[in-house]
Amino acid sequence: MRTLIRNGRLIDPGNSVDSLGSILIENGNIAGVYFADSPPDADRIIDATGLLVCPGFIDAHVAVREPGFEEDETIASATAAALAGGFTSIAALPDTNPVVDNRGSAEFVKRQAERAANCRVFPLGAVTKGHKGEELAEIGLLVEADAVGFTDAKTPIANAEVMRRALEYTGMFGPPVLHHSMVPELSESGVMHEGFESTRLGLVGIPAAASDIMTGRDIALAELTGGRVHIMCISTREAIERVRLAQSRGVNVSADMTPHYLLFTDEVMRSFDTLYKCNPPLRSQEHVDALIGGLCDGTISIISADHQPLAIEKKAVELDMAPFGICGLETLLPICVETLITPGHLTWSQLVACLTVGPAQLLSLPYGTLGPGSAADITLIDPTEQWTVDAASFRSLSRNTPIDGRPATGRVVATMVGGDIRFSTRDL
Protein backbone atom coordinates (compact mmCIF):
# COMPACT_ATOMS: atom_id res chain seq x y z
CA MET A 1 0.00 0.00 0.00
CA ARG A 2 1.22 3.45 -0.93
CA THR A 3 0.83 6.10 1.76
CA LEU A 4 1.13 9.82 1.15
CA ILE A 5 1.77 12.31 3.95
CA ARG A 6 0.85 15.63 2.41
CA ASN A 7 0.91 19.33 3.22
CA GLY A 8 3.18 19.01 6.25
CA ARG A 9 6.21 21.07 7.20
CA LEU A 10 9.04 18.67 6.40
CA ILE A 11 12.00 19.07 8.75
CA ASP A 12 14.95 16.90 7.72
CA PRO A 13 18.20 18.44 9.04
CA GLY A 14 20.30 15.66 7.52
CA ASN A 15 19.29 16.86 4.08
CA SER A 16 18.96 20.58 4.96
CA VAL A 17 15.21 20.49 4.41
CA ASP A 18 12.71 22.76 6.19
CA SER A 19 9.83 23.31 3.81
CA LEU A 20 6.20 22.49 3.12
CA GLY A 21 5.92 19.27 1.20
CA SER A 22 4.71 15.71 0.93
CA ILE A 23 6.23 12.28 1.43
CA LEU A 24 5.32 9.09 -0.45
CA ILE A 25 5.81 5.83 1.45
CA GLU A 26 5.95 2.45 -0.27
CA ASN A 27 7.05 -0.96 1.05
CA GLY A 28 8.16 0.56 4.36
CA ASN A 29 10.52 3.06 2.75
CA ILE A 30 10.33 6.65 1.59
CA ALA A 31 9.69 6.45 -2.15
CA GLY A 32 9.71 10.17 -2.84
CA VAL A 33 9.68 13.67 -1.38
CA TYR A 34 7.70 16.39 -3.13
CA PHE A 35 7.76 20.15 -2.67
CA ALA A 36 6.43 22.52 -5.34
CA ASP A 37 5.50 19.68 -7.69
CA SER A 38 2.28 17.74 -7.27
CA PRO A 39 2.64 14.46 -5.35
CA PRO A 40 1.39 11.22 -6.92
CA ASP A 41 -1.75 9.35 -5.97
CA ALA A 42 -1.67 6.90 -3.07
CA ASP A 43 -3.88 4.31 -1.41
CA ARG A 44 -3.90 6.21 1.88
CA ILE A 45 -3.64 9.95 2.40
CA ILE A 46 -2.50 11.50 5.70
CA ASP A 47 -3.23 15.21 5.84
CA ALA A 48 -0.38 16.79 7.83
CA THR A 49 -1.58 20.38 7.51
CA GLY A 50 -0.27 22.31 10.51
CA LEU A 51 2.03 19.46 11.55
CA LEU A 52 5.79 19.03 11.56
CA VAL A 53 6.91 15.91 9.69
CA CYS A 54 10.29 14.80 11.02
CA PRO A 55 12.54 11.75 10.90
CA GLY A 56 11.78 9.42 13.80
CA PHE A 57 13.65 10.43 16.94
CA ILE A 58 16.57 8.33 18.17
CA ASP A 59 17.62 8.06 21.83
CA ALA A 60 21.23 7.08 22.42
CA HIS A 61 20.71 5.57 25.89
CA VAL A 62 17.51 4.28 27.46
CA ALA A 63 17.15 2.17 30.61
CA VAL A 64 14.80 -0.68 29.66
CA ARG A 65 15.32 -2.57 32.99
CA GLU A 66 14.60 -6.00 31.50
CA PRO A 67 15.77 -8.54 32.54
CA GLY A 68 15.95 -8.21 36.30
CA PHE A 69 13.94 -5.09 37.13
CA GLU A 70 10.61 -5.66 35.44
CA GLU A 71 8.81 -3.88 38.28
CA ASP A 72 10.28 -0.66 36.82
CA GLU A 73 10.03 -1.30 33.09
CA THR A 74 10.10 -3.98 30.42
CA ILE A 75 11.37 -3.81 26.87
CA ALA A 76 7.76 -3.87 25.69
CA SER A 77 6.69 -0.97 27.92
CA ALA A 78 9.88 1.05 27.28
CA THR A 79 9.40 0.79 23.53
CA ALA A 80 5.72 1.73 23.85
CA ALA A 81 6.77 4.79 25.86
CA ALA A 82 9.38 5.58 23.21
CA LEU A 83 6.73 5.62 20.48
CA ALA A 84 4.57 7.98 22.54
CA GLY A 85 7.57 10.31 22.80
CA GLY A 86 8.23 10.24 19.04
CA PHE A 87 11.18 7.83 19.19
CA THR A 88 11.44 5.19 16.49
CA SER A 89 14.83 3.87 17.61
CA ILE A 90 16.41 3.53 21.04
CA ALA A 91 19.70 2.14 22.32
CA ALA A 92 19.14 -0.04 25.39
CA LEU A 93 21.43 0.43 28.38
CA PRO A 94 23.08 -2.77 29.63
CA ASP A 95 22.49 -2.17 33.37
CA THR A 96 20.10 -5.08 33.73
CA ASN A 97 20.38 -8.27 35.78
CA PRO A 98 22.30 -10.00 34.37
CA VAL A 99 24.30 -7.21 32.80
CA VAL A 100 24.49 -7.20 29.00
CA ASP A 101 28.17 -8.14 28.94
CA ASN A 102 28.04 -11.14 26.59
CA ARG A 103 26.57 -12.13 23.26
CA GLY A 104 23.64 -14.10 24.66
CA SER A 105 22.34 -11.23 26.77
CA ALA A 106 22.52 -8.82 23.83
CA GLU A 107 20.58 -11.25 21.67
CA PHE A 108 17.93 -11.52 24.41
CA VAL A 109 17.36 -7.76 24.19
CA LYS A 110 16.93 -7.99 20.43
CA ARG A 111 14.50 -10.92 20.65
CA GLN A 112 12.35 -9.19 23.25
CA ALA A 113 12.23 -6.07 21.10
CA GLU A 114 11.16 -8.09 18.09
CA ARG A 115 8.35 -9.66 20.14
CA ALA A 116 7.19 -6.24 21.33
CA ALA A 117 7.06 -4.95 17.73
CA ASN A 118 7.08 -1.30 18.78
CA CYS A 119 10.16 0.76 17.93
CA ARG A 120 13.62 -0.39 16.86
CA VAL A 121 15.94 -1.39 19.72
CA PHE A 122 19.72 -1.59 19.54
CA PRO A 123 21.68 -3.11 22.44
CA LEU A 124 24.49 -1.24 24.16
CA GLY A 125 27.09 -3.61 25.54
CA ALA A 126 28.78 -3.29 28.92
CA VAL A 127 32.34 -2.00 28.93
CA THR A 128 33.32 -4.17 31.89
CA LYS A 129 32.01 -7.49 33.13
CA GLY A 130 29.20 -7.00 35.60
CA HIS A 131 29.82 -3.22 35.52
CA LYS A 132 32.54 -3.86 38.10
CA GLY A 133 35.12 -1.71 36.32
CA GLU A 134 37.80 -4.40 36.50
CA GLU A 135 37.78 -6.66 33.43
CA LEU A 136 36.63 -5.79 29.91
CA ALA A 137 33.46 -7.46 28.71
CA GLU A 138 33.29 -9.61 25.56
CA ILE A 139 33.50 -6.58 23.29
CA GLY A 140 34.21 -8.43 20.05
CA LEU A 141 31.35 -10.87 20.55
CA LEU A 142 29.03 -8.03 21.57
CA VAL A 143 29.85 -6.25 18.31
CA GLU A 144 28.92 -9.45 16.47
CA ALA A 145 25.63 -9.36 18.39
CA ASP A 146 24.99 -5.86 16.96
CA ALA A 147 25.95 -3.78 19.99
CA VAL A 148 26.09 -0.19 18.72
CA GLY A 149 28.10 1.19 21.62
CA PHE A 150 29.56 0.34 25.00
CA THR A 151 28.80 1.75 28.41
CA ASP A 152 28.65 0.87 32.08
CA ALA A 153 25.52 3.03 32.27
CA LYS A 154 25.41 5.08 35.50
CA THR A 155 28.49 3.34 36.93
CA PRO A 156 31.63 5.38 36.22
CA ILE A 157 34.74 3.55 35.04
CA ALA A 158 37.06 4.84 37.74
CA ASN A 159 40.18 2.93 36.71
CA ALA A 160 41.99 4.97 34.04
CA GLU A 161 43.88 1.94 32.73
CA VAL A 162 40.63 0.02 32.20
CA MET A 163 39.14 3.01 30.40
CA ARG A 164 42.25 3.31 28.25
CA ARG A 165 42.05 -0.35 27.22
CA ALA A 166 38.32 0.00 26.55
CA LEU A 167 38.93 2.91 24.18
CA GLU A 168 41.74 1.07 22.44
CA TYR A 169 39.74 -2.12 22.02
CA THR A 170 36.46 -0.53 20.94
CA GLY A 171 38.47 1.60 18.53
CA MET A 172 39.33 -1.59 16.64
CA PHE A 173 35.64 -2.18 15.93
CA GLY A 174 34.23 1.34 15.66
CA PRO A 175 31.46 1.73 18.28
CA PRO A 176 31.95 4.50 20.85
CA VAL A 177 32.27 4.29 24.62
CA LEU A 178 29.43 6.16 26.29
CA HIS A 179 30.52 7.23 29.75
CA HIS A 180 28.86 8.58 32.87
CA SER A 181 31.79 10.88 33.61
CA MET A 182 31.76 11.29 37.36
CA VAL A 183 34.48 10.77 39.99
CA PRO A 184 32.92 8.18 42.34
CA GLU A 185 34.77 9.35 45.44
CA LEU A 186 33.34 12.84 45.02
CA SER A 187 29.82 11.84 44.08
CA GLU A 188 28.70 8.51 45.52
CA SER A 189 27.44 9.89 48.86
CA GLY A 190 25.75 13.01 47.45
CA VAL A 191 22.07 13.58 46.78
CA MET A 192 22.04 16.95 44.96
CA HIS A 193 24.29 19.58 43.39
CA GLU A 194 26.87 20.96 45.80
CA GLY A 195 26.45 24.69 46.27
CA PHE A 196 24.47 27.30 48.14
CA GLU A 197 21.26 25.27 48.13
CA SER A 198 22.84 22.04 49.42
CA THR A 199 24.52 23.99 52.23
CA ARG A 200 21.28 25.76 53.06
CA LEU A 201 19.33 22.50 53.11
CA GLY A 202 21.96 20.53 54.97
CA LEU A 203 22.19 17.89 52.23
CA VAL A 204 25.35 16.19 50.98
CA GLY A 205 26.27 17.67 47.63
CA ILE A 206 27.78 16.36 44.42
CA PRO A 207 30.31 18.98 43.28
CA ALA A 208 30.54 20.04 39.66
CA ALA A 209 34.22 19.12 39.93
CA ALA A 210 33.26 15.43 40.07
CA SER A 211 32.08 15.74 36.47
CA ASP A 212 34.74 18.21 35.35
CA ILE A 213 37.66 16.04 36.50
CA MET A 214 36.36 12.82 34.94
CA THR A 215 35.44 14.55 31.69
CA GLY A 216 38.97 15.89 31.46
CA ARG A 217 40.38 12.42 32.05
CA ASP A 218 38.15 10.88 29.40
CA ILE A 219 39.17 13.50 26.87
CA ALA A 220 42.86 12.89 27.61
CA LEU A 221 42.43 9.14 27.14
CA ALA A 222 40.48 9.61 23.90
CA GLU A 223 43.29 11.82 22.62
CA LEU A 224 45.90 9.29 23.72
CA THR A 225 44.20 6.27 22.15
CA GLY A 226 42.34 7.78 19.21
CA GLY A 227 39.19 6.14 20.57
CA ARG A 228 35.67 7.55 20.53
CA VAL A 229 34.28 8.73 23.86
CA HIS A 230 30.82 10.15 24.39
CA ILE A 231 29.91 12.01 27.59
CA MET A 232 26.38 11.11 28.67
CA CYS A 233 24.20 13.74 30.35
CA ILE A 234 26.82 16.47 30.49
CA SER A 235 25.70 19.00 33.07
CA THR A 236 28.47 21.40 34.12
CA ARG A 237 29.91 24.57 32.65
CA GLU A 238 33.54 23.45 32.90
CA ALA A 239 32.87 20.00 31.41
CA ILE A 240 31.16 21.62 28.42
CA GLU A 241 34.10 23.97 27.93
CA ARG A 242 36.54 21.05 28.06
CA VAL A 243 34.57 19.18 25.41
CA ARG A 244 34.41 22.32 23.26
CA LEU A 245 38.19 22.81 23.40
CA ALA A 246 38.85 19.11 22.75
CA GLN A 247 36.62 19.14 19.68
CA SER A 248 38.49 22.17 18.35
CA ARG A 249 41.68 20.10 18.60
CA GLY A 250 40.13 17.22 16.70
CA VAL A 251 39.66 14.86 19.66
CA ASN A 252 36.93 12.29 18.99
CA VAL A 253 34.66 13.34 21.84
CA SER A 254 30.95 14.15 21.84
CA ALA A 255 28.30 14.84 24.45
CA ASP A 256 24.57 14.76 25.04
CA MET A 257 22.30 16.50 27.50
CA THR A 258 18.84 15.92 28.96
CA PRO A 259 16.06 18.55 28.86
CA HIS A 260 15.02 18.37 32.50
CA TYR A 261 18.41 19.89 33.33
CA LEU A 262 17.17 23.00 31.52
CA LEU A 263 13.71 23.04 33.08
CA PHE A 264 14.83 22.93 36.72
CA THR A 265 17.70 24.17 38.87
CA ASP A 266 18.87 22.85 42.23
CA GLU A 267 16.45 25.27 43.91
CA VAL A 268 13.64 22.71 43.42
CA MET A 269 15.37 20.49 45.99
CA ARG A 270 13.94 22.80 48.67
CA SER A 271 10.82 20.63 48.32
CA PHE A 272 12.79 17.50 49.31
CA ASP A 273 10.79 15.76 46.57
CA THR A 274 12.57 12.58 45.48
CA LEU A 275 11.12 12.91 41.97
CA TYR A 276 13.71 15.64 41.32
CA LYS A 277 16.60 13.40 42.37
CA CYS A 278 18.63 12.43 39.33
CA ASN A 279 22.23 11.68 38.41
CA PRO A 280 23.96 13.96 37.50
CA PRO A 281 22.01 16.23 39.83
CA LEU A 282 20.05 19.28 38.76
CA ARG A 283 22.55 22.14 38.73
CA SER A 284 22.51 25.89 39.37
CA GLN A 285 21.58 28.50 36.77
CA GLU A 286 25.13 29.12 35.52
CA HIS A 287 25.32 25.49 34.42
CA VAL A 288 21.89 25.69 32.78
CA ASP A 289 23.11 28.68 30.77
CA ALA A 290 26.22 26.73 29.74
CA LEU A 291 24.07 23.82 28.53
CA ILE A 292 22.06 26.15 26.34
CA GLY A 293 25.29 27.65 24.99
CA GLY A 294 26.65 24.20 24.24
CA LEU A 295 23.53 23.29 22.28
CA CYS A 296 23.54 26.56 20.38
CA ASP A 297 27.14 26.27 19.19
CA GLY A 298 27.01 22.52 18.48
CA THR A 299 29.33 21.39 21.27
CA ILE A 300 26.43 19.26 22.50
CA SER A 301 25.04 17.49 19.42
CA ILE A 302 22.56 15.08 21.01
CA ILE A 303 19.55 15.37 23.28
CA SER A 304 18.59 12.24 25.23
CA ALA A 305 15.63 11.66 27.52
CA ASP A 306 17.93 9.74 29.88
CA HIS A 307 14.89 7.56 30.60
CA GLN A 308 15.38 6.10 34.08
CA PRO A 309 12.08 4.44 35.05
CA LEU A 310 11.55 3.48 38.68
CA ALA A 311 8.56 1.92 40.41
CA ILE A 312 6.96 4.77 42.33
CA GLU A 313 7.29 3.00 45.69
CA LYS A 314 11.07 3.13 45.27
CA LYS A 315 10.83 6.93 45.22
CA ALA A 316 8.44 7.06 48.18
CA VAL A 317 11.24 7.11 50.77
CA GLU A 318 13.53 9.67 52.38
CA LEU A 319 15.56 11.77 49.94
CA ASP A 320 18.92 10.29 50.87
CA MET A 321 17.56 6.74 50.44
CA ALA A 322 15.74 7.24 47.15
CA PRO A 323 17.34 6.04 43.90
CA PHE A 324 18.32 8.51 41.19
CA GLY A 325 16.27 8.83 38.04
CA ILE A 326 13.48 10.49 36.07
CA CYS A 327 11.11 8.83 33.61
CA GLY A 328 11.66 10.94 30.50
CA LEU A 329 10.75 9.45 27.11
CA GLU A 330 7.16 10.67 26.95
CA THR A 331 7.84 14.22 28.12
CA LEU A 332 11.02 15.11 26.24
CA LEU A 333 9.36 17.02 23.41
CA PRO A 334 7.22 19.46 25.46
CA ILE A 335 10.16 20.20 27.77
CA CYS A 336 12.31 20.97 24.72
CA VAL A 337 9.60 23.24 23.36
CA GLU A 338 9.32 25.10 26.68
CA THR A 339 13.06 25.47 27.30
CA LEU A 340 14.53 25.71 23.80
CA ILE A 341 11.96 26.51 21.09
CA THR A 342 9.73 29.06 22.86
CA PRO A 343 12.66 31.17 24.20
CA GLY A 344 14.27 31.07 20.74
CA HIS A 345 17.46 29.27 21.72
CA LEU A 346 17.06 26.66 18.95
CA THR A 347 15.07 26.46 15.74
CA TRP A 348 12.93 23.40 15.08
CA SER A 349 15.53 22.19 12.57
CA GLN A 350 18.30 22.45 15.18
CA LEU A 351 16.22 20.63 17.78
CA VAL A 352 15.28 17.83 15.40
CA ALA A 353 18.95 17.47 14.42
CA CYS A 354 19.83 16.81 18.08
CA LEU A 355 17.16 14.10 18.18
CA THR A 356 17.99 12.45 14.85
CA VAL A 357 21.23 13.31 13.06
CA GLY A 358 23.35 13.48 16.22
CA PRO A 359 22.43 10.09 17.72
CA ALA A 360 22.39 8.39 14.31
CA GLN A 361 25.96 9.53 13.67
CA LEU A 362 27.10 8.56 17.17
CA LEU A 363 25.76 5.01 16.89
CA SER A 364 26.31 4.63 13.11
CA LEU A 365 22.62 3.97 12.46
CA PRO A 366 21.09 4.29 8.96
CA TYR A 367 18.14 6.29 10.29
CA GLY A 368 17.30 9.87 11.21
CA THR A 369 16.56 11.07 7.67
CA LEU A 370 13.62 11.55 5.30
CA GLY A 371 15.71 11.00 2.19
CA PRO A 372 14.29 8.83 -0.62
CA GLY A 373 15.15 5.16 -0.10
CA SER A 374 15.46 5.50 3.68
CA ALA A 375 13.24 3.66 6.14
CA ALA A 376 9.90 5.40 6.68
CA ASP A 377 10.53 6.09 10.37
CA ILE A 378 8.59 9.31 10.83
CA THR A 379 7.38 11.46 13.72
CA LEU A 380 4.47 13.86 13.29
CA ILE A 381 4.27 16.78 15.73
CA ASP A 382 1.63 19.37 16.45
CA PRO A 383 3.88 22.24 17.60
CA THR A 384 1.04 24.29 19.07
CA GLU A 385 -1.17 21.71 20.79
CA GLN A 386 -1.88 22.60 24.40
CA TRP A 387 -2.17 19.68 26.79
CA THR A 388 -1.43 18.61 30.35
CA VAL A 389 1.11 15.96 31.32
CA ASP A 390 -0.69 13.04 32.92
CA ALA A 391 1.65 10.45 34.39
CA ALA A 392 -1.24 8.05 34.96
CA SER A 393 -1.61 7.72 31.19
CA PHE A 394 2.08 6.97 30.53
CA ARG A 395 2.82 3.91 28.46
CA SER A 396 5.87 3.37 30.63
CA LEU A 397 5.29 1.19 33.68
CA SER A 398 6.80 3.92 35.83
CA ARG A 399 5.48 7.33 36.83
CA ASN A 400 8.56 8.96 38.36
CA THR A 401 8.30 12.36 36.73
CA PRO A 402 8.32 15.74 38.50
CA ILE A 403 6.15 17.35 35.79
CA ASP A 404 2.93 15.40 36.31
CA GLY A 405 0.06 17.88 35.89
CA ARG A 406 2.24 20.51 34.20
CA PRO A 407 0.75 22.41 31.23
CA ALA A 408 2.59 21.59 28.00
CA THR A 409 2.85 22.90 24.45
CA GLY A 410 3.82 20.73 21.49
CA ARG A 411 2.86 17.08 21.19
CA VAL A 412 3.76 14.00 19.20
CA VAL A 413 0.55 13.05 17.39
CA ALA A 414 1.83 10.03 15.45
CA THR A 415 4.90 7.83 15.19
CA MET A 416 5.57 5.60 12.20
CA VAL A 417 8.10 2.77 12.03
CA GLY A 418 8.77 1.32 8.61
CA GLY A 419 5.69 3.08 7.29
CA ASP A 420 3.38 1.57 9.93
CA ILE A 421 1.62 3.88 12.38
CA ARG A 422 2.63 2.43 15.74
CA PHE A 423 1.30 5.32 17.87
CA SER A 424 -1.20 8.10 17.34
CA THR A 425 -3.30 10.47 19.41
CA ARG A 426 -5.82 11.25 16.67
CA ASP A 427 -7.33 9.78 13.52
CA LEU A 428 -5.10 10.34 10.53
- Provide DSSP, 174-204: -PPEEE----HHHHTT--EE-SHHHHHHT--
**CA gap 182, 358 in Å, rounded:** 23
**CA gap 427, 181 in Å, rounded:** 44
List strand residue ranges (DSSP E) for 134-186, in order: 150-151, 177-179
The predicted pLDDT at position 1 comes to: 86
Task: Show which residues are catalytic.
Answer: 306
Decide if 125 contacts 106 (C-beta within 8 A): yes
pLDDT in tens, the chain (428 residues): 899 999 999 999 999 999 999 999 999 999 999 997 788 999 999 999 999 999 999 999 999 999 999 999 999 999 999 999 999 999 999 999 999 999 999 999 999 999 999 999 999 999 999 999 999 999 999 999 999 999 999 999 999 999 999 999 999 999 999 999 999 999 999 999 999 999 999 999 999 999 999 999 999 999 999 999 999 999 999 999 999 999 999 999 999 999 999 999 999 999 999 999 999 999 999 999 999 999 999 999 999 999 999 999 999 999 999 999 999 999 999 999 999 999 999 999 999 999 999 999 999 999 999 999 999 999 999 999 999 999 999 999 999 999 999 999 999 999 999 999 999 999 88
* Strand duo 229-231 + 177-179: pairing: parallel
Q: Mention every residue, 6+ apart, whose C-beta is less than 8 A from residue 187.
A: 206, 207, 210, 279
Decide if 205 contacts 193 (C-beta within 8 A): yes
Decide if 354 contacts 42 (C-beta within 8 A): no
The predicted pLDDT at position 327 comes to: 97
The predicted pLDDT at position 36 comes to: 79
Q: What is the pTM of this model?
A: 0.97
Decide if 139 contacts 126 (C-beta within 8 A): no
The predicted pLDDT at position 304 comes to: 98
